[in-house]
Structure 1
Amino acid sequence: MSGWLPFAPDASHAGADPRLAGARLTIDLSALAENYRLLVRQAAPAKVAGVVKADAYGLGIEPVARALWRAGCRTFFVALPEEGIALRAVLRDAEIFVLNGLFGPEAAPAYAAHRLMPVLGSQSDLSCWEAFGWDGDRPRPCAIHVDTGMNRLGLTADEAFAFAEENALTGALSPRLLMSHMACADDPRHPLNRQQLESFQAVKRAFGQTDSSLSNSAATFLGPAFAFDMVRPGIALYGGAPVNGRENPMLPVVTAEARIVQVRHARPGETVSYGAHAKLDRDTVIAIASAGYADGYHRAGSQAGVPLRGVVKQSACGVTHGRRVPVLGRITMDLTMFDVTDLGTAVAPGDWIELFGTNIAIDDAAAAAGTISYELLTSLGRRYHRTYVGGE
């Protein structure tokens, strides 16, 4: 199949030797592909691109991109030109957009050499790409980013109107896509959603038949008015809940587990971990797991001696032997303690405990640390052994 190469995991993706690893990730490429197909059905007839920036949200750009290609994805978004170059080496025929703009005139040749489409969001971006010259006998292709309320990247509406009028006369650039980004789509009732939609519709009229894209994961579920020609889901592909307060329709893609390296017994009145904030009120069996905040298992999930204590509903928990068990004391750099007292003598060194995945939703694990699934995924350290399953 054109543009597809067989996938063989390498050391950069596999991580530690599984016999020596303190933690492991199981990444289900079949679930990833099914999530893509669900989004295709949701967004139809709009095209669905795959956002694979930040090493595919921490899961590995190479295996993730190949799995999405096999599922039918042909357009991808990355944040940085280096990410685009890495993706081009994996997928020869993919359409690749670079979200963070054009990194100056010295970077322009690399975009052209690797057939990367810059998303131009400033006057300097426009001037630089225009000055770089034509692609053969054609003006340089690009995407145009207009800000509709995010105040992050993008031309203002007035700048976008002025560019559209001038470019209609000069033909200096060939916009392939007009895009903007939603700020509050995970809250369907937020008034900014409608404001951004109306602002984008107005700018779109100035760009004629140019394809357009407004929706991220959350906005894909706001209805057909937000779909335009292309949607750009990210977190939903990887199993995160796209919309707050609704049942998550996406399948879990990644399961994170830590190895239990010791089981110890402690008496009432003793304390656990740094700061001695966790004081025991019963005879307690403690499982010490070989993962901590150096592995992206956030210290804030401890709720012990941190400002989040009492703000989020409960501390983080794990699952072992089919039971949920709470984090006990502060999460440390390399180790986390769990209260496994209610499991009796079932837990032993060498067992594994799930941090999030098929039993603990990634959004729940993130909420326990006062953060979001995006941050939890992209914080995953390199000490995990990664196993890719499915996707064939």
Structure 2
Amino acid sequence: MTFADMRPCPSPGCPPPEEASAGAVLTIDLGAVRANYRLLKARLGGGACAGVVKADGYGLGAAPIAEALQREGCDTFFVALAEEGIALRQVLGEAPSIFILNGVPPGAEAACAAAGLTPVLNSAEQVAAWRQTARRLERRLKAALQVDSGMARLGMTAGEVERLAADRHGLDGIDVVLVMSHLACADEPGHPANKAQLLEFRRLSAMLPAAPASLANSSGIFLGADWQFDLARPGAALYGINPTPDAENPMRPVVRLDARVIQTREVGAGAGVGYGHAYRAAASLRTATISLGYADGWQRHNAAAAFVDGRRLPFVGRVSMDSIVLDISAVPAGRLKAGDLVELIGPSQSVDQVAVGGGTIGYEVLTGLGSRFFRRYVDQ
């Protein structure tokens, strides 16, 4: 007997066995990703728009996300690590440009060159190693140069840029195809660092070989034309995270997370719920325990809520490794039973709202989502 034979509901409307057996379902709307890409590209006024798919597409699957963006016309992608780039090359084929934001770790240069990857060179040491690789392979190699315009995270310092500019052999064998930097405060439009970084980027990039320039991330696109240059590198906005935190989110939501009810029960007044009895019922209530916890990436201290039929179902007690208890007194008795799904991220509660509940940002929510979900990709 197979698992499918054991399904309690063999009718055509039932979910597949993998979904039915999962504790939670993560739905990823590739159509929304493509729509977000179109919106961002439209704001660039003719400039090129890349897709940042690092960290496995912000936790949502780099391969399906990148393939959807490629169908939308995106031909330039950014990842963080060389291994991410090698895997992505196998998915996308030889045509797209794939940049490695962290550069190439020592010893991985030949593998990156063989995969046709373009490292973002962040230091004099990385430049020297890539130059030596080009000499060893006896061919020219493409690279991006990143300058530190004021974030003090990655990129060549002003001194390194000046020394490289003065060394007529410093870029031997290297075709510079992009000069870039990264904004530290783009999500705060009025922050003085944005203008300071723009001016410093212009100053440093003028010392380097003429090449397309890139400064804007998701939020940087919304700072205006001065910051957009030749290529923008949106990441979070593609996945529905608000790039303009002080204004209405212009992006379409991409993710929906629904968790399955394990059981329901009546809890009497005065009863303690969950570890440490951190919650004690002031009056009798009805509860549902759902199959989701911090092993799935839902932070232990994030006491947000679930929703069903638009009604808020507060968490009661602590988030456990594999489960959370909800107060379902607001819904009619019998509305929820074992196997039903409740919404954690979706129309009633966005990724950014979940992040507020956990004292973090939407980036961390998405990239922290675990591997135990049934992942369902739709393209609406």
**TM-score in terms of structure 2 length:** 0.92
Structure 1 Cα separation of the partners of residues 160 and 315 of structure 2: 52
Does the 8 Å contact 1:123/1:155 carry over to 2?
yes
Aligned to 1:101: 103
Residues in 2 aligned to 1:170 and 1:204: alpha-carbon distance in whole angstroms: 15
Deviations 1:265-301 (CA, angstroms, capped at 9, x unpaired): 1112112111212121122111111000100111111
Per-residue displacement from partner, 1:300-355 (whole Å, max 9, x unpaired)?
113xxxxxxxxxxxxx0111123121111111100011111011312222111111
What's 1:383 paired with?
372
Q: How does 1:20-169 map to 2 (within 5 A)?
A: 20-92=21-93, 93-104=95-106, 106-134=107-135, 139-167=140-168
Aligned pair 1:327/2:315, yes or no?
yes
User: Separation in 1 of the partners of 2:34 and 2:259?
Assistant: 26
In structure 1, what is the Cα distance between the partners aligned to 2:219 and 2:162?
A: 27
Question: What's the counterpart of residue 220 of structure 1?
Answer: 221
Q: Deviations over 1:34-66 (max 9, x none)?
A: 000000011222111000000000111111110
User: Match of 1:300, SS?
Assistant: coil
Identity %: 44
Q: Which sections of structure 1, spanning at least 5 residues, go unmatched?
A: 1-14, 303-315
> Do the aligned partners of 2:164 and 2:170 also contact (CA within 8 Å) in 1?
no
2:273·2:316 contact (CA, 8 Å) conserved in 1?
yes
**CA drift at 1:134:** 4.8
Give the match for residue 341 of structure 1.
329
Amino acid at match of 1:342: A
Give secondary structure in 2 for the equivalent of 1:341: coil
Q: Secondary structure at the match of 2:316?
A: coil
Structure 1 residue 243 displacement after superposition: 2.1
Specify whether residues 29 and 297 from structure 1 end up closer, same or farther in structure 2 by C-alpha distance, changes over 3 A only: same
CA drift at 1:152: 1.0
Moved >3 Å (runs of 4+): 134-138, 167-172
SS at match of 2:258: strand
What is the rounded CA distance, in whole Å, between the counterparts of 1:75 and 1:143 in structure 2? 13
Do the aligned residues in 2 keep the contact of 1:356 with 1:365 (CA within 8 Å)? yes
**In 2, Cα distance between equivalents of 1:331 and 1:168:** 58
Q: Give the Cα separation in 2 of the matches to 1:167 and 1:19.
A: 63
Query: Contact between 1:319 and 1:359, CA under 8 Å: does it hold in 2?
Result: yes
CA distance in 1, matches of 2:248, 2:268: 41
Partner SS state of residue 363, structure 1: helix
Aligned position for 1:290: 291
Q: Name the residue aligned to 2:179.
A: 178
Q: Retained in 2: the 8 A contact 1:16–1:383?
A: no
- Does structure 2 conserve the Cα–Cα contact (< 8 Å) formed by 1:134 and 1:140? no
Q: Find out whether 1:366 has 2:355 as its counterpart.
A: yes
SS class of match (2:194): helix
Determine if contact 2:219/2:243 at 8 Å carries over to the other structure: yes
1:260 touches 1:352 (CA, 8 Å); kept in 2?
Answer: yes
- Asked whether the 8 Å contact 1:321–1:347 carries over to 2, the reply is no
- Could you say which residue in structure 2 is the equivalent of 1:312? none
Match of 1:353 among 325, 329, 342: 342
- In structure 1, distance between residues paired with 2:169 and 2:346: 50
SS at match of 2:276: helix
Aligned mates of 2:188, 2:266 — CA distance in 1: 45
